């Protein structure tokens, strides 16, 4: 059994309600998840679709990018480094959240393009980054908003080994914030290059870090607070200067109190 498997089994014993909880199995240190996320980005680029990978995966991407920069190591090296506890920074998920810019098409056309042209390409077979395993992804449920893919490693999988997608296709899918920011977030997105191993780099397009932070500050759930803290810590450690005016512009006036709480906790020298 893998280290992650042992951790899950121990958690089950200590938390009887685990069977009724949503599984959060994957992060960007897991070969199947990395390969799937990489495929999503490549397909969308090939289809010439403006997009961002958002949510928890975007947070993981920034965190691993900054950890790699801080320690001068690939993700594989960070995992092997006994002085770095990657699990303290990276929060697992089973979702890949994507925001697509399909502006100019009616929604029925967006749905048709997603379901008939894009989603079938997320069913594929590929070698793991180390070349030692065959990874296969098969559609379990097809839908324009939340498709699901079953994960098989060397032809072995279970009903729990599933990656779900949340696909945003229009401004109203931007939760909590003014919908007018939907296109801005995508237009101002950035490409991140994460050295996963000596043989594999993960490239994906994500919102600029200020927009990611603003989105999480607005929602202010426990998992968002955790991501905000880790992103802020690593931004300071790697000398990344944040544009606080941009964050304020996205959040004002509805979430100004949330923003002030974030500043007082992570950047007390910044006044708003």
Please give the full DSSP string across 129-170, using - where no structure is assigned: TTSS-EEEEEEEE--SS--EEEEEETTB--TT-EEEEEEE-S
Residues 205, 207, 208: CA angle, nearest 5 degrees: 110
What does the pLDDT profile of the chain (272 residues) look like in tens digits? 443 443 344 444 544 444 434 455 899 999 999 999 999 999 999 999 999 999 999 999 999 999 999 999 999 999 999 999 999 999 998 799 999 998 666 888 899 999 999 999 999 999 999 999 999 999 999 999 999 999 999 999 988 899 999 999 999 999 889 999 999 999 999 999 999 999 999 999 999 999 999 999 999 999 999 999 999 999 999 999 999 999 999 999 999 999 999 999 999 988 77
Distance, in Å, from the CA atom of 169 to the CA atom of 40, rounded to the nearest integer, reads 15
- Side-chain half-sphere of 12: how many Cα atoms within 13 Å? 10
Q: Are residues 156 and 42 in the same domain?
A: yes
N- to C-terminal Cα distance for the chain? 50
Please check whether residue 152 lies inside any domain of the structure.
Answer: yes
Q: Are residues 90 and 221 in the same domain?
A: no
Number of independent structural domains in the chain: 2
Q: Are residues 121 and 167 in the same domain?
A: yes
Q: Are residues 141 and 236 in the same domain?
A: no
Of 191, 207, 223, which closes a domain? Answer: 207
| Two structure tokens written together for 209 | 């870090």
Q: Are residues 140 and 178 in the same domain?
A: yes
Distance, in Å, from the CA atom of 172 to the CA atom of 165, rounded to the nearest integer, reads 17
Of 155, 173, 207, which closes a domain? Answer: 207
Please check whether residue 4 lies inside any domain of the structure.
Answer: no
Q: Are residues 152 and 272 in the same domain?
A: no
Please check whether residue 97 lies inside any domain of the structure.
Answer: yes
Segments forming the whole domain that contains residue 89: 22-207
């Amino acid at each position: 059994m893998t280290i992650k498997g042992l951790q899950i089994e121990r958690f089950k014993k200590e938390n009887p309600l685990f069977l009724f909880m949503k599984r959060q199995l994957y992060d960007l240190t897991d070969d199947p998840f990395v390969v799937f996320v990489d495929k999503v980005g490549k397909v969308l680029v090939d289809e010439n679709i403006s997009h961002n990978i958002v949510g928890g995966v975007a947070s993981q991407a920034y965190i691993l990018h900054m950890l790699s920069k801080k320690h001068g190591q690939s993700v594989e090296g960070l995992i092997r480094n006994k002085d770095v506890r990657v699990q303290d920074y990276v929060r697992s998920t089973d979702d890949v959240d994507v925001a697509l810019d399909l502006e100019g098409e009616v929604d029925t056309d967006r749905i048709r393009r997603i379901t008939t042209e894009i989603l079938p390409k997320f069913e594929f077979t590929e070698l793991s980054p180390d070349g030692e395993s065959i990874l296969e992804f098969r559609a379990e449920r097809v839908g324009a908003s939340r498709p699901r893919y079953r994960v098989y490693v060397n032809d072995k999988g279970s009903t729990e080994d599933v990656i779900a997608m949340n696909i945003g296709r229009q401004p109203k899918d931007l939760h909590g914030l003014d919908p007018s920011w939907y296109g801005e977030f995508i237009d101002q997105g950035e490409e991140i290059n994460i050295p996963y191993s000596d043989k594999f780099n993960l490239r994906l397009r994500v919102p600029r870090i200020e927009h990611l932070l603003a989105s999480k500050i607005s929602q202010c759930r426990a998992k968002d607070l955790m991501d905000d803290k880790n992103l802020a810590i690593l931004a300071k450690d790697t000398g990344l200067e944040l544009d606080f005016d941009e964050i304020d512009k996205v959040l004002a006036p509805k979430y100004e109190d949330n923003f002030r709480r974030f500043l007082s906790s992570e950047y007390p020298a910044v006044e708003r």
